Amino acid sequence: MTVQTHSNAAGDGGLRAWLTTETPLSRRQARLGRAYLGWLTFTRNKLAMIGLGIVLLLVVMAALAPWLAPYDPYTQDLSNRLMPPSAANWLGTDAFGRDILSRILYGSRLTLMIVALVAVTAPVAGLLIGTVAGYLGGWVDTVLMRVTDIFLAFPKLILALAFVSALGPGIENAIIAIAITSWPPYARIARAETITIRKSDFINAVRLQGASKVRIILGHVVPLCSSSLIVRVTLDMAGIILTAAGLGFLGLGAQPPAPEWGAMIATGRQYVLEQWWVATMPGIAIFVVSLGFNLLGDGLRDVLDPKG
């Protein structure tokens, strides 16, 4: 990789020169320099930066919701219901006179929670199933992959709907349902990677040192598969948000009065012609955040994916 000179104002010249030197004095400096070059590649992608900005904004919004929100998201003010956007209520009020801006701010917490919980469960399950199937092969592979195929045969939202209806509506069950429906693609990716890895010499080398199958899968195969999975997860986050909002919209996700964005759209549906802002504002929030995650994922793939 060549050393790039960038004229943006990130840090002073001394630090940048230290990071981009061609003759690093220590390993730490070399590693930091590599990370910095990766960061430069990332920042050159304008859209990815916008995505990063949106996601960071979402995190800040969620963290500071109690301080940023002008009103309590649950306080009803029936004399003030369905007010259009104004100086007092920037994004208007809903059917119970609750401030929509405050509800969107608090709703970002729910959105982030869903994304985070699904992102730590589904890929882990998919990774385990995929690596076990790929490494052991034979009938284990056949059984696990046919189960995966069955899950993949249903549209994601329909399957999630079925699970939530069976488990009962609620945000926890929505998260479980989304996780259950989103592991199969990860299992497929992990299995494909494992099959290319399992025949390699270094796996033979640990085998002939007497390592057990569990040790090989967890210690040697899983770390090698995870980079491509991480990239895939960031790209899938928008899908997770949309599924969660879809479940909320159908009344199967977060329950009222929780300020979940999908549920907010559902309640605004009946006023959509006269009081358009009730449904539109949370809709814009979902749109912007999904876009942000997609742009960020795309940019991360360019930087992280070794095959890119």
Partner 1 sequence: MTNEKPLLEVENLRISFPTRTGVTQAVRGVSFSVGREKLGIVGESGSGKSMTGRAILRLVPSPGVVTADKVSFQGEDLLTASEKRLRDIRGRRISMVMQDPKFSLNPVMTIGAQIAEAYRVHSSAGKAEARRRALEMLEAVRIRNPERVYGLYPHEVSGGMGQRIMIAMMLIPNPDLLIADEPTSALDVTVQMQVLAIMDELCSKRGMGMIFVSHDLNLVASFCDRILIMYAGRVVETCRASELHEAKHPYTRGLLDSLPRLDDTRPELPVLTRDPAWLEG
Q: Residue 201 — φ and ψ, nearest 5°?
A: -65, -35
Range in contact with partner 1 (rule: CB under 8 A) among 81-89, 186-194, 204-212, 255-263: 204-212
Could you say whether residue 204 binds partner 1 (CB under 8 A)? yes
Range in contact with partner 1 (rule: CB under 8 A) among 73-81, 151-159, 206-214, 233-241: 206-214
- Residue with smaller CB distance to partner 1, 133 or 178: 133
Among 220, 244, 248, 263, binds partner 1 (CB under 8 A): 220
Token duo for residue 248:
């909320």
Q: What is the DSSP letter of 79?
A: G
Are 296 and 234 in contact by the 8 Å Cβ rule? The answer is yes
Could you say whether residue 209 binds partner 1 (CB under 8 A)? yes
221: buried, middle or exposed (CB in 10 Å: 19+, 13-18, 0-12)?
buried
Question: CB of residue 148 vs partner 1: minimum separation in angstroms?
Answer: 23
Question: CB of residue 211 vs partner 1: minimum separation in angstroms?
Answer: 6
Are 253 and 165 in contact by the 8 Å Cβ rule? The answer is no
Query: x/- string (CB under 8 A) for partner 1, residues 222-241?
Result: -xx-----------------
Q: How far is CA 156 from CA 169, 179, 237, 242, 261, in A?
A: 17, 10, 14, 11, 19
Among 3, 143, 205, 288, binds partner 1 (CB under 8 A): 205
3-state secondary structure of 305: coil
Q: What is the DSSP letter of 164?
A: H
Question: CB of residue 39 vs partner 1: minimum separation in angstroms?
Answer: 21
**Chain contacts with partner 1 (rule: CB under 8 A):** 27, 199-212, 215, 219-220, 223-224
